[in-house]
Amino acid sequence: MIKILYIIFVIFLNLVSEVINAKFPSLNKESKIIGGTEIPINIAKYQVSVRLKTLENQYGYGRGHLCGGSVITQRLVLTAAHCVTNSNLNVPVARNPKELTVVMGSILLYHRLPNNLQYNVQQVIQHANFNTTTLVNDIALLFLNGYIPWNWPTVTAIPIQSKAVLVDTMCTVTGWGRMANGQTSKVLLAGQVPIIKYMECSQNYGILPQSMLCAGYMRGGIDACQGDSGGPLECNRQLVGIVSWGNGCAEPGNPGVYTNVSDFYKWILNVNSSLNYTYYSDASSIVSNTSIFIAALTAIRNLFNWIFC
């Protein structure tokens, strides 16, 4: 009976998602990811917002946004290592997983909607050789303290690229980062950028390791910016890069530098195989038919709050 109700709920939520997308078609027509445009969530259902709980609790929903990230399994999010590093200490260290929360399922950063999913983080796994100065090996995995339902209408995983992509391949970078006007975007934005040759990228950056790649335009104009870090660079429906660093944002001669996901393909597989998908640090996070039904009821309550508030 619970399964039937849940199926009905998911169908209902799909319809609600269409209504929500219609209600927020142009929150900010001038919004840009530095040369980007607003997109519906169906374009990037793997996109997440990684948030700091203390800021979220102190300033409100969405105000704790630190970085982007990508769903790659039902409990695993891929992001940049510098996103989950506490740099305010004399010796930077990885943040405690209890400090973080991950939100997905909507293009809106500051509005809680019925199709949002939110999870605590059970484990933060930074690459052991991450260098906070050079940003070499700028990659981390967040093991969620909960299970993402694969039939959720606005969330899905993105496959990870196992081989290097060709130069000039057109890709899409997404995020809620800083725009040309210096403000953080309220909606999810996307920019189209090509993969750049290493030698061309090295003109201003020096020789880069194979664990990094460049994407963008040498003339500038389109790029990720602060707040987009950790987010996805998608090429041909595969996760190719992780927003990592660059000199400024969209400046001539300074394209975006990304963590090269294919260079860490085996590392990701090895970490994933070492994780216990049946263990939850909080027993209430274990997904069962009952907990899914409760989640459905909670989402319906959020829907009514959203409609009537």
What domains are there in the chain, each with its CATH number?
A: 45-154+265-274 (2.40.10.10), 169-262 (2.40.10.10)
pLDDT at position 92: 85
Alpha carbon separation from 133 to 88, 196, 228 (Å, rounded): 14, 23, 19
pLDDT at position 33: 58
State the CB neighbour count (10 A cutoff) for residue 149. 16
Please tell me the total number of residues recorded for the chain in this structure.
309
- Name residues whose C-beta falls within 8 Å of residue 163's C-beta, 6 or more positions apart in sequence: 262
Which helix (H) or strand (E) segment holds residue 55: the answer is: helix 53-59
pLDDT at position 218: 80
pLDDT at position 301: 53
Predicted model pTM: 0.82
CA dist 51 and 255 (Å) reads 26
State the CB neighbour count (10 A cutoff) for residue 135. 18
CA dist 241 and 215 (Å) reads 9
pLDDT at position 239: 98
Q: What is the mean pLDDT for each group of 10 consecutive residues in the chain (309 residues)? A: 50 49 37 68 97 96 95 98 90 93 96 95 97 96 96 97 96 82 81 93 90 87 71 97 84 86 98 96 50 51 54
Say if residues 255 and 201 touch (Cβ distance below 8 Å): yes
Identify the CA nearest to 281 among candidates 126, 108, 144.
144
Identify the CA nearest to 175 among candidates 52, 259, 250, 66.
66
Vertex 1: Cα angle to 11 and 287 (nearest 5): 75
Say if residues 135 and 110 touch (Cβ distance below 8 Å): no
Active-site residue list: 82, 138, 229
Say if residues 46 and 71 touch (Cβ distance below 8 Å): yes
